[in-house]
Amino acid sequence: MIIVMESQASAAQIQHVSSKLQEKGFQVHLSQGIERTIIGAIGQRTQATQDLFETLPGVEKVVPIAQPFKLASRQFKQERTRVQVGSITIGGRDFQIIAGPCAVEGRTKYLEIAQAVKEAGATMLRGGAFKPRTSPYSFQGLEKEGLKILAEAREITGLPVITEIMDPRHLDEVASYADILQVGARNMQNYFLLRELGRLQHPILLKRGPSATIEEWIMAAEYIISSGNPNVIMCERGIRTFDSYTRNTLDISAVPVIKQLTHMPIIVDPSHGTGKWKLVEPMSLAAVGAGADGIMVEVHQNPSEALSDGPQSLTPENFARMVKKIKNLHLLLNNNGEQ
């Protein structure tokens, strides 16, 4: 349930309600908005408990949350969460473009592509240092050396970097190099990893699992938020369906659904969502039209020679042309102010 405090509720009244909830065995999560404070109470609710808290000083109302996800819901937090990454805001007015190769393949090549995507209009850099691959014989990433290259690229370009975290044992190491930690589709339901990410305050990009329902995806975010980290960014990257023409089926409808059900920002990954570079641009434009807060795409100097995901990677030239179209469409759709 959530307890909505009166707009003039004092700090002492808020603390009293929080303490009383803890006495009753509830986990307490505060959401302090512009006009009022909302207290999220996670635990076993009864009608008697609800009646008790409605009588406490400073309480405006008590609202049961019927959905299984509590802290991620729009009932708990009406204002949209804006995740700050340095000087960049994800979930604000600007459309963010994350770009780079699937994997960090080497220092020279990565620094070259990082500079190219920055000049074309990228606002963040992506690149895998630890790569989860279907085959144990495929390129697994440069690991720590890849993290160092990402950090160097950030220093040179001034752009934040995002990379995937696969193992809780690497958590502190990856967090010391990256600005955003990505939970890949294979790990969306790795609940131990999600709980560990909750103890950080690093932004977490949570990709949708290949067979996950929207509710399961939001519940994965709930693990991170309920463990103490509210900085979750959702990422739609396509789901597995019966169709084999594309790598996955990109669920663009997930963008407005996530915005209706939750307060979290959402971006789209059309590279993994389609698996074909020719489809990346139209689906990126579709993401803008659906109201996404950004996209994440793969860009490589020579896709035919990429160590992973070459068929879905844009060349720097194709990326630059796409960015111009994205900026024009976003400006057209948002010329009357913030979404």
Domain spans of the chain, in order of start: 2-63, 83-333
Q: Are 216 and 194 in contact (CB under 8 A)?
A: no
Q: Are 261 and 293 in contact (CB under 8 A)?
A: no
Specify the pLDDT at position 336.
57
Specify the pLDDT at position 339.
42
71 token code pair = 């802290």
How far from the centroid of its chain's Cα atoms is residue 79's Cα? Answer: 17
Q: Which residue type sits at 212?
A: A
Which residue is it, tokens 């929080």?
Answer: 18
112 token code pair = 């070259």
Low-confidence residues in the chain, pLDDT < 70:
137, 140, 336-339
Pairing mode of beta strands 37-42, 204-207? unpaired
CATH of domain 83-333: 3.20.20.70
How far from the centroid of its chain's Cα atoms is residue 239's Cα? Answer: 17
How far is residue 285 from each of residues 117, 176, 220, 248, measured CA to CA in Å?
A: 18, 34, 27, 18
Q: What is the 3-state secondary structure (H, E, C) of the chain?
A: CEEEECCCCCHHHHHHHHHHHHHCCCEEEEEECCCCEEEEEECCCCHHHHHHHHCCCCEEEEECCCCCCCCCECCCCCCCCCEEECCEEECCCCCEEEEECCECCCHHHHHHHHHHHHHHCCCEEECECCCCCCCCCCCCCCCHHHHHHHHHHHHHHCCCEEEECCCHHHHHHHHHHCCEEEECHHHCCCHHHHHHHCCCCCCEEEECCCCCCHHHHHHHHHHHHHCCCCCEEEEECCECCCCCCCCCECCCCHHHHHHHHECCCEEECHHHHHCCHHHHHHHHHHHHHHCCCEEEEEECCCHHHCCCCHHHCECHHHHHHHHHHHHHHHHHHCCCCCC
Which residues, at least 6 apart from 76, have a Cβ–Cβ distance to it below 8 Å? 2, 29, 31, 38, 40, 65, 70, 263
CA distance 172 to 159: 21
Specify the pLDDT at position 337.
46
Whether the model clears a pTM of 0.85, i.e. scores above it, the answer is: yes
Tell the CATH topology of 2-63: Alpha-Beta Plaits (3.30.70)
Specify the pLDDT at position 289.
97
